[in-house]
Amino acid sequence: MGFLSFLKPNSQSFKPVKPKSETANPTDSEISEMNHKMLISADKVEQGRALVSAAQAARQARQAEEAARLAEIRDAGAIPEECGPDIAPAPARGGFVLERVRHLEGATIDDLVETSRGYVRKSPVRCADAFDLMIAAALRGKRDMPLSPGQIAMGRRYAALVEISATDGTKLSCLDSSGGGGDSMDWMDRHLDIGRELDLLRGRIGHGVAMAVRRVRPTARGAEQRGPIMDRVLVDMVCLKGCTLDQVLMSHGWSAKGDHRKAVSHALGETLDRMIGYRMQKTS
C-alpha cells in the first residue's frame, strides 16, 4: 500500500465502452429529423443574411440622403465667382442679392463710361428682403414696379435703423483706439440720433388704416374674419419681417387677389412717401 498503490488502476471501476458499430444505418425518423434541423439552420442563415443586407441598404440610403442634403445646403450658400474669395460661403446667411457696383470713368462728360469697379473689382452681396421679391415678381410678370426706388430706399433705411437700435444697446471698448482720445458721449449721441430718427419716421407713419373692413354682416364674411391692416403693421411686416404683400393680406384674413393686392401696394407706397417727407406729391 502507500501512495503508489493508490494510483494503481482498479479493474472493477474502469469498464471499457464498446464503440457503436460503424455498419449500423440510421433509421428513417433520424434521417428526417436531421434534414429538418439542417433546413432550420439554412433558413436562419438566410434570414440573417437578409437582415444584414437590409441594414446595409438602409445605411447606404441614409448616407446618400444626408450627402444630398449637405450638397443642397452647400449649393444654397455658394458664392458667385465675381464676388471673389473674401466672402465665405454661409448657408445661414439666407437669400442674398449680388450688388452691381458701377463707376463712371472718363476725362470729360462726353467720355464717361460706366464700368464695374468695386473692391479689387469684386461685387459685394447683401441679404435679400421683401422688396427684392417684389422686384423679381414684377420682372417675371413684365409688370411695372410696385414701388419707386426712393420708396424702397426709405423702407430699407427704416429696417436698418430698427436693427441698429435693437442691437446697439451695449457700449464696448475697442482695442484699436484704446490709446487715442475719444468722447465717451459718442456712442450715446449716436444712439439718441437713431432713436430720434426712428421716432420721426414712426410719427410720419401714423396710426392710419391701410386696409379697412367694410360694413359687412358677419354671416357674409366667411369663416375667416377679416381684420383691418394698420399702416404701422404693414410697414413693419414688409420692412422688418420680410413678408410679401400676399402674406400680409392672408395674415389678416384677406384673399390675395388682384384688387386687394393693388390696394395694399398703394397704401404701402403712400406710407413710404410720408416717411420720406412727401405730403401731397407722390413719388410713384
Compute the average pLDDT of residues 257-272. 88
Percent share of the chain, pLDDT over 70: 74
- Binned at pLDDT 50, 70 and 90, residue 12 comes out as low
**CA 23/CA 21 separation, integer angstroms:** 5
Segment of 41-50, 58-67, 224-233 carrying the highest mean pLDDT? 58-67
Closest to 268 in 3D by CA, of 240, 242, 236, 241: 236
Higher-pLDDT residue of 195 and 212 is 195
pTM, full prediction? 0.63
Q: Using DSSP, state whether 97 is helix, strand or coil.
A: strand
Any residues with CB less than 8 A from the CB of 262 and at least 6 apart, and which? none
243 near 270, Cβ under 8 Å?
no
Q: Check pLDDT > 90 for residue 6.
A: no
DSSP string for residues in 67-96: HHHHHHHHHHT---GGG-TTS---GGG-SE
User: What pLDDT sits at residue 199?
Assistant: 92
User: What pLDDT sits at residue 227?
Assistant: 82
Q: Check pLDDT > 70 for residue 282.
A: no
HEC states along 215-266?
CCCHHHCCCCCCCCEEHHHHHHHHHHCCCCHHHHHHHCCCCCCHHHHHHHHH
User: What pLDDT sits at residue 27?
Assistant: 77
Compute the average pLDDT of residues 148-156. 92
Q: Using DSSP, state whether 276 is helix, strand or coil.
A: helix
Higher-pLDDT residue of 86 and 149 is 149
Lowest pLDDT segment from 110-114, 186-190, 213-217, 257-261: 213-217
240 near 266, Cβ under 8 Å?
no
Q: Check pLDDT > 90 for residue 238.
A: yes
User: What pLDDT sits at residue 5?
Assistant: 52
Higher-pLDDT residue of 180 and 82 is 82
List the helix and strand counts (H, then E) for the chain.
Answer: 8, 6
Compute the average pLDDT of residues 63-84. 86
Residue indicated by cell numbers 438566410 = 46
CA dihedral 134, 135, 139, 145 (to 10 degrees): 90
Higher-pLDDT residue of 70 and 169 is 70
User: What pLDDT sits at residue 178?
Assistant: 47
Q: Check pLDDT > 70 for residue 125.
A: yes
**Burial classification of residue 177, based on how many CB atoms lie within 10 Å of its CB (0-12 exposed, 13-18 middle, 19 or more buried):** exposed
